[in-house]
Amino acid sequence: MRLAPWVIGGTEQALREILRFTGPADVTLSRYFREHPKLGSRERSAIAEAVYSLLRHRLVLMHFSESGGGPQLRRIALLALAESSGIEALGGVEEAERLWLTHVLGIDRATLSLAVRSNFPEWIRERLIDQFGQDQAEPLMAALNQPASLDLRVNTVNSTIEQVESALMEAGIPFERTHYAPNALRLRVKPALQNLPIFKQGAIEVQDEGSQLLAHLLGPRRGEMVVDFCAGAGGKTLAIGAMMRNTGRLYAFDISDKRLAKLKPRLARSGLSNVHPVLLAHENDAKVKRLAGKVDRVLVDAPCSGFGTLRRNPDIKWRQQPGDITELCERQLSILNSAARLPKVGGRVVYATCSLLREENQAIIAQFLSQHANYHVIPAREVLLEQKIALDTGEYLQLLPHQHGTDGFFAAVLERSS
């Protein structure tokens, strides 16, 4: 069944807004769909897939769009739709356009220059090559340009992985267990999860396997006092609370009331009663100081460039600028310094980002340790092995999509010795 001819024009309109890069692509796209309520679900899906396909493969498709005839924005829209839905699915395409699409999309992209086929801005591409070497950077960038899988975390407070597997099988939803996180399932399709009883009952949460591993790296125990310092919408908070078996006290800190508001319905579904959301004015809020030296474990999932999540948010690489990284690094160190006041002696801080850049990761840890002689690194491999997770990426946790099938994550375990 072909898409209606006007889907091409709709894609053009959406791309005209998206390519201004004035805000996150998902927000811009949601606004576009609200302004065009007559679009059906199939048309919305086709336009959204085309937009994200262009954002992932922008340099290649823009390169191809330099050929052909007619307005360039139409050529870009046609390429994006053909890339995501297939040429045969397009309605309203002239024969000359169809022949052109068949030709350019049949070009072997390996013959294109790295600057084009990488689909990365030069400054990010160069940093990744410098950090990982070209042999690793190329497959890494290629993996980041692919759509992410849909991972679930089984909420062990009110279910088991076997019960969730049984429910998925009954619903006809194909899945598999992941390699590392013990309560993670990876779906082979993307169903409307919100309609499933297991979702409504709080038995599952959508959470990338890498994000789940951060909770295991923190290693919270029953009855402890734990802080999720940058909780956001609370995905990791809920995972931590479940690992604590709904005991102890778990604070969910954030400076955004809107983000914490998104935690409330998830918290209600989860069955957790040990989570206490706390709105902060800033990282040095008096509410933080009152817990100084009293906490067992702190997770600092710091604000970052987000380059590890490009499979989900491909627009980030086009919206970020080099100067943004400098500002982020200053904030990351400030947040880590504040969070480091919370643990008691023997307590731990896990510093994490969903970035791939050394400046936001290893460099922050090196700078922190140079200023805090009372902290030392516990190798991530040892912490995970204690939980029977056989994953060794060195002293720090370094998850890479082309190697681990997860989003890109970095994490360091820091223990207070005095």
Judge whether 354 counts as a catalytic residue: yes
CA atoms of 328 and 307, how far apart (whole Å):
13
Q: Which two tokens stand for residue 287?
A: 């509410």
CA–CA dist 376, 340 (Å, integer): 12
Residues contacting 133, CB < 8 A, separation 6+: none
- CA 73 to each of CA 12, 82, 99, 145, 319: distance values in angstroms, whole numbers, following the listed order: 6, 14, 18, 22, 20
Catalytic residue among 230, 304, 329, 354: 354
Beta-carbon contacts of residue 34 (< 8 Å; ≥ 6 apart): none
Catalytic residues: 354
